[in-house]
Structure 1
Amino acid sequence: MAQPRYQQIADDIRRRIEAGVLPAGAPLASETEMVAEYGAARETVRKAMATLRAEGLISTAKARGSFVRPRWPVRRLGMDRYRVETRQRDEQPAEKATSFTKDQGIDWSAYTMDKDFAEVPADEQLAELLQVPAGEMLLRRHFVFRSHGVPQQISTSYLLLDMVGGTPVADPANEPWPGGSIAQLATLDVVVDQVREQVRTRMPTPEEARVLGIGDSVPVLTITRTMLADGRPVEAAVDIVLPGDRVELDYTIDM
């Protein structure tokens, strides 16, 4: 049985992308141009483009057209990735690092972030995660982590305001901080000794898709993280959001 026409068009454009004829960032022909090139109906061309978007090969921006998406190296998330932060806390090595720079394989100079701090009351979810009453005041820190200027991760984390208020940890001017939250809390004599994570996948919100540059057809990986010190929750991240096509979970389970 012959392939549907839209699939034939998608296959042809996919081959061009994979062969490098259409490199990362290259604009695709307009819808009208494709209708003429392939001798196909406009709806058939739209279906072909939707197929390529669903595969994460192209992205479409309103009033700008469609472009070939860059293929980023896959970031591996393993169980040991926070150890680089405990080393920053315990050993204070000359080379600055966080779990993000380790996962990305980048130097500190290539790491930048957007940041926004605010004091907010705990909602029911945060109250449960941090084991505090609803309405307890928290410091919310919203970050966009960048590697070589490219957004790779969104993180919204919360700290107990009565613990960090008025300290350097609450000053956004001190970000990025080598060792991240683990090293920051250590300056307040709070030693993180356990990290819990819940991992889910979902489609991105329009704002997440815009910030991460992934369009609305690439799923995201979300991590709800709780850091504990001597059994007490001291930080909650709700959520850490990563593009699903740039992340690989890497775990070893000893039996």
Structure 2
Amino acid sequence: MVREFKDPRSPHQKIAADLRRRITRGDLPPGSKLGSTAELMEQYGGVANTTVQKALQVLKAEGILEGLPGKGVYVRQHAQQAVEPSAYMRPVGPGESYPWMSEAAKRRQTGRIQLLGVEVVVPPVEVADALRLDVGERAVLRRQILFLDEEPTELTRSYYPLSLVEGTAVLERKRILGGTPALLGSMGFPPREFVDELSSEIPTEEEVVALELPKDMPVLVAFRVVYSDGGRPIEATLMTKAAHRYRMRYRLPLA
């Protein structure tokens, strides 16, 4: 017997969800114009004008739609984009840009990284277990915000065993020349493999503020552990991404 369940959301939330899905899946591509308010009212079963306006306002707040005075409402460019995590793992060569910036440039965007802080901490249990740290053993935490076209899109919290990186640039409150993959490689710990665990979660206050999230927007959280030779864990990172701006793309060989 099929269970009966009704969508408890308000009408404008249902309309926003339907439009959002049509945009993220490409049925309403970037630059396309939405129908008039009257057309949307009819399309969604004769709902009220205010219901349509509330739905559109939700998507404008998320940065998915934009209203152009006298012209209508349009889907914004880069409403949601796919990124391949492996593209950001390679060490940077001499004179090369950080992968975050170079990958953004390929999409005709501007990438920027802001370092928020560096501190020595006792990490959360999940991180300590991933890094195989003893109880109470400390790690270095580096916190950063990643921007695309000046929009905050990712908050990263990267942990490194203090015993591994003590006395190195990892503890300095400045960008690391070549990035941490290059630094760890020069220390004899080149990144060889990473494992991601993805989850959709309700954001914390820190994440809402850092990513300037609209109300009721979930986040995509990737917990990544990086391993060097012999399966030694050298980094554990929590990457919180604005779910309405991101999708993840993985390319895996089947042979």
Aligned in 2, Cα 1:240/1:119: closer, same or farther, shift over 3 Å? same
Contact 2:140/2:161, CA 8 A, preserved across alignment: yes
Q: Hey, what does 1:166 align to over in structure 2? A: 167
Write out per-residue CA displacement over residues 105-151 of structure 1, whole angstroms, 9 at most, x where no aligned residue.
36998523132111111332222110111211111111111234331
Q: Hey, what does 2:81 align to over in structure 1? A: 75
Write out per-residue CA displacement over residues 215-249 of structure 1, whole angstroms, 9 at most, x where no aligned residue.
12322111000011121111101x20111122222
Report the count of equivalent residues: 209
Q: Hey, what does 2:101 align to over in structure 1? A: 101
Q: Hey, what does 1:224 align to over in structure 2? A: 223
Amino acid at match of 1:74: Q
Runs of at least 5 residues in structure 1 that lack an aligned partner in the other structure: 22-39, 61-66
Alignment partner of 1:182 is 2:181: yes
Aligned in 2, Cα 1:190/1:108: closer, same or farther, shift over 3 Å? farther
Please, which of 44, 58, 71 is the counterpart of residue 60 of structure 2? 58
Aligned in 2, Cα 1:102/1:201: closer, same or farther, shift over 3 Å? farther
Deviation at 1:207? 3.0
CA distance in structure 1 between the aligned counterparts of 2:116 and 2:159, rounded to whole angstroms? 13
CA distance in structure 2 between the aligned counterparts of 1:245 and 1:51, rounded to whole angstroms? 15
Deviation at 1:93? 4.3
Contact 1:76/1:103, CA 8 A, preserved across alignment: no
CA distance in structure 1 between the aligned counterparts of 2:220 and 2:141, rounded to whole angstroms? 21
Write out per-residue CA displacement over residues 146-180 of structure 1, whole angstroms, 9 at most, x where no aligned residue.
2343312100010111221221221122x1543x3
CA distance in structure 2 between the aligned counterparts of 1:111 and 1:58, rounded to whole angstroms? 24
Amino acid at match of 1:129: A
Aligned in 2, Cα 1:167/1:143: closer, same or farther, shift over 3 Å? same
> TM-score normalized by structure 1?
0.67
Deviation at 1:78? 2.2
CA distance in structure 2 between the aligned counterparts of 1:220 and 1:214, rounded to whole angstroms? 9
Identity %: 19
Deviation at 1:70? 5.9
CA distance in structure 1 between the aligned counterparts of 2:184 and 2:206, rounded to whole angstroms? 30
Amino acid at match of 2:236: A
Contact 1:194/1:227, CA 8 A, preserved across alignment: yes
CA distance in structure 2 between the aligned counterparts of 1:218 and 1:109, rounded to whole angstroms? 24
Q: CA RMSD in A?
A: 3.6
CA distance in structure 2 between the aligned counterparts of 1:143 and 1:48, rounded to whole angstroms? 37
Contact 1:112/1:147, CA 8 A, preserved across alignment: no
- In the TM superposition, 1:240-255 aligns within 5 A as 240-253=239-252, 254=254
Deviation at 1:6? 6.2
Aligned in 2, Cα 1:168/1:80: closer, same or farther, shift over 3 Å? closer
Contact 2:155/2:240, CA 8 A, preserved across alignment: yes
